A = this chain, B = another copy of it.
Amino acid sequence: MITRLRAAALGTIAIALVGTAATAADLKPEEQIQTRQAGYRFMSWNMGKIKANLEGDYNQQQVQAAADAIAGIANSGMGALYGPGTDQDIGDVKTRVKPELFTDQEAVGKVAVAFIEAANNMAETAALGDKAEVKTAFGELGESCKGCHDKFRKD
């Protein structure tokens, strides 16, 4: 997985940024918003599990499973879920995304690349099982999340 994840990173980042016809064509804008939020919610749960393991009894298998879930979601091309019409609330479906995400491609690319690399590094580190290294990788992953939130998410 380690090699594959690294090797796939660039291509996946391209998908994350560009999207493809197959990834979003069947989803309405409100479904795209709900699906990207589902991804973030599920990653957040798994971040919480890793945090709990670092602060308490460390279960390597659970941390690795959580890190793999995060990496799998991070590499799935979520950029396709930011299609036209998903820049604002749609009825009851609310979004906190800032308009800049849809205009500042260069900055979006930077935070997306940083996030995917940090998620892959987290999965690779979790597989090796050293708690101290996992703590570092987890901190870096959290920073990469924050990097996007600070720039592209409303409070």
Contact B41 A35 (CB under 8 A): yes
Q: Can you list 20 A-B contacts (CB < 8 A)?
A: A1-B1, A4-B127, A12-B65, A15-B61, A22-B56, A22-B57, A22-B59, A23-B49, A23-B62, A26-B48, A34-B41, A38-B42, A42-B76, A46-B76, A65-B75, A68-B71, A69-B72, A69-B73, A69-B76, A72-B73
A63-82 CB mask vs B (1 if < 8 Å, else 0) is 01110111111011100010
Contact B59 A20 (CB under 8 A): yes
In the complex, whether A90 has a CB less than 8 A from a CB of chain B is no
Q: Is the interface of A mostly helix, strand, loop or mixed?
A: helix
Query: Which among A41, A59, A61, A76 has the greatest number of chain B C-beta atoms within 10 A?
Result: A76
